[in-house]
Structure 1
């Protein structure tokens, strides 16, 4: 259908209702139904049929959706197996001897996320599994853990070319690079844009500063105070299994990581020869690679635990199934998030919003407006990758015809805005998975992360305005970072004075 203002209503209904009621599943269903009503010409009967068709259609995608759901369930099962084996408890005991402070526990989460840069889905779930025992023992709230996970995953992935994000972006950069000659090849263009992505850099800097300076913005402060009032040693009290080992947690996770790398290269054709590593990343099936690696990790866990009697053979499957059951809510939310994404795609919400970027703007405002519009689009549609696909060609054509030397900064502003919108949106799949990885209430995560995302976005917006006025990439970045540092310093002073 032709894009109109009605195309914006379904995501707004879903997002607004979720933030108001905290009932994310019901809110997503209302958003999907409202979109189906618009698509069906406001026929209730047809809209109900369209709603069911759209939701169940998400299970008919064997290339992406089904493998991702399988990986989510497999990771839930693996989590339960590791916990039952005593691996989580052993890691908690070990970490308590190495990580002595709440700051250290949070920084460990940040650095673990930085190391697992290959994919944001995998990052969100695996980092939660690895670090949750130590953050629990140091009285760090699940909301804070979800923020640490989410605000590390996408910013890291979008700054590193050797990732699923990098591979996807290289394909989108090929045409602008060839058309406007702004770089030798897509890879060099990607590297050149790293210092231009003000939001990703700012989000990481803000995370580290707030951890080091022990500053919690509202409403995160309430969750942190509640977590600190709880007994930090209660995690693991129900068991006292000194025979468990740290390797019972680390080895299955290591197999998961190595297996993911192996299958990504294998499905991309790199291991068969004749294909370079970046071409393999471009052609790989990341979703199936995650599912294959998850299956491999489950098999390895059986071989690791059962012969050593860390778990009885008759316990293995019931424990695995129980772990998968713990992920069912996350699975339902993810399916519904994909469904509303499909609805807004058919309503052409993205193209409708994108037309705003082609309005008659002064050149110096274009990077800042592209950043803001990409953020709104990603927030409304719940997808940063979809925003990339729509906005990168628009940004390059709008800027390239006037100032070709600004093509890469304009695209970088799109990337930054899309990550901001992705961080802020309750219907974003990576936000859902970060909540699942931290085992945090989804709306609690959205509400507590939003102030951090808005702060980094405000600083980035100003940075892009400075760039537009001066054409100096590094000056825009310095101003953006300086604003963040200044705000955090003032916030710290205010908290101390209080």
Structure 2
């Protein structure tokens, strides 16, 4: 059943269960079990072993400690601790009060995470978590639902990372493009230059970012998002009160220090940013050969180790601020414990998402979808569109943009080179666009999970509320790629896509009023 159409069944079962039950752990668990059964032809002992190996491989890989995953899990715990100390010290409350005097409107509060999401483009994980920590005190004050905040974060993090050549994503993509160019002896193409030329062709990523500002300016809340925003506005409840497993939710477990200052929040976050970026540059230089450039630094940087270092420094600073406050306060150990506990829901989801990612990889779902593209005999004018749709479904089913990049970039490049080399860059750009679209819709995507974590939103609430907006951006992108495929004019296709997006937003605004 591996590498065939049947390999689509386990991820589809998992996704349908998520949407029907909204119980993400149950749905992920069901997908893991069904996938393991499919891999081993319903041999129960072998399937149980496959499930165990998918869990064991998260921590031990080829008899070696998988330190990268441990760094990321520890960073999440550090983030919870840092948030707890910033809250307990009164820094979050003080920043919220100060920001409310500067940002007077709910619309203005929503611009903060949107703009920060564009500025912090070096890595999607870092973007998702850091932007949430800075923005949450302000958006909470202005009654922006956590689901809306998660959407604003998610729709700028991965799109910006995939558009920027100076990012962990950009470096990986440029390196992959370089290999493809070398393999096909394309003397007229250069890796970095090709990436730069592909930016306006990455229609979905650009449309997703623009849509964030359109949604904010025109206050376009519809579907499940409208329900969350209405509840936040009328009752002040920023999350569904029936939810209990919300990452980052401290539930008022300790008393806040009333004399807290803005610096008790800002300084730990600045330390987090500077510590992480410094570590990324340092590890990138250490892993690069002589004559390291900015591109090779980000290509070889150790993101998870950098997050760990930055997170550890930030926790230490937040802890020191707390213990030096003289006002009566909760015991430090209690704050540590509550901060750790607040991140457990996100950690559980992330571990199960990694497990099902391994199962889906063994099912060869991605390879089957790639084969479908290779064997299709459609007109070359439809090539960017077809690649976009297939990559979108592949990333949606597997939860991995990078996995889709790794499989589909060489295939898209090969198809273009053997048919019409003029379609080389549009085909590669469509891979990037489709991968980010699928990533936005997938409940098992790392970035989606971390965006809901950074925002303090229930994960499935974030998935359900974001999908309609992602689909609108995807429909606009479909039109853009049709224009690009038939005319070859990049900027016309991009501007037409943005104008179509604006038209849809205005029409929807009139409908949902």
- After superposition, what is the alpha-carbon deviation per residue over 1:383-442, rounded to whole angstroms, capped at 9, x for unaligned? 000000000000000011121122111100110000000000111111111111111111
TM-superposed CA distance for 1:34, in Å, is 0.7
Q: Partners of 2:117 and 2:26 in 1: how far apart?
A: 31
Query: CA 1:310–1:260 in structure 2 vs 1: closer, same or farther (change >3 Å)?
Result: farther
Which of 464, 468, 477 does residue 485 from structure 2 map onto?
Answer: 468
Query: Shift of the alpha carbon at 1:89?
Result: 0.3
- C-alpha separation between the residues in 2 aligned to 1:410 and 1:442? 32
The match for 2:141 among 124, 137, 141 is 137
1:148 matches 2:152: yes
Q: Does 1:300 align with 2:304?
A: no
Which residue of the other structure, out of 187, 200, 206, is the alignment partner of 2:205?
200
Distance 2:328 2:395 in 1: 44
Superposition deviation, residue 185 in structure 1 = 2.9
Q: Kindly indicate whether the alpha-carbon contact (under 8 Å) linking 1:334 and 1:429 is maintained by their aligned counterparts in 2.
A: yes
RMSD: 2.1
Tell me the equivalent position of 1:210.
Answer: 215
Give the Å deviation of 1:183: 5.9
1:127 matched to 2:143? The reply is no
CA distance in 2, matches of 1:34, 1:310: 54
Listed one character per residue, the Cα deviations across residues 168-222 of structure 1 (whole Å, up to 9, x for unaligned) are 1111111233335376532222111111110011011111011001111212111
1:360 aligns with 2:364: no
Per-residue deviation, residues 238-274 of structure 1 (Å, max 9, x unmatched) = 9785521111111101111111111111111269974
Query: What's the secondary structure of 1:78's corresponding residue?
Result: helix
Q: What pairs with 1:338-487 in structure 2 (closer than 5 Å)? A: 338-358=354-374, 359-487=376-504
1 CA distance for matches of 2:91 and 2:305?
A: 27
Aligned residue number for residue 223 of structure 1: 228
1:68 aligned partner: 72
Q: Residue 275 of structure 1 aligns to a residue in which SS? A: coil
**Post-superposition shift, 1:481?**
1.2
Match of 1:289 in 2: 306
Please give the alpha-carbon distance, in whole angstroms, between the structure 2 residues aligned to 1:394 and 1:246. Answer: 51
- Return the alpha-carbon distance in structure 2 between the equivalents of residues 311 and 305 of structure 1: 11
Please show how residues 95-134 of structure 1 align to structure 2 within 5 Å.
95-134=99-138
Aligned residues: 493
Check conservation: 2:88, 2:322, Cα contact below 8 A.
no
Normalised by the size of structure 2, how large is the TM-score?
0.92
Structure 1 stretch 176-185 or stretch 69-78: which is displaced more? 176-185
The whole-number CA distance in structure 1 between the counterparts of 2:75 and 2:107 is 31
Question: For structure 2, which runs of at least 5 residues remain unmatched after alignment?
Answer: 239-250
TM normalised by structure 1 equals 0.95
- Please give the alpha-carbon distance, in whole angstroms, between the structure 1 residues aligned to 2:401 and 2:474: 15
Residue of structure 2 equivalent to 1:12: 12
- How far did 1:231 drift? 4.3
Counterparts of 1:302-317 in structure 2 under 5 Å? Answer: 302-309=319-326, 315-317=331-333
> Structure 1 residues 231 and 221 mapped into 2: Cα distance closer, same or farther (>3 Å)?
closer
2:88 and 2:255 in contact (8 A); partners too? no
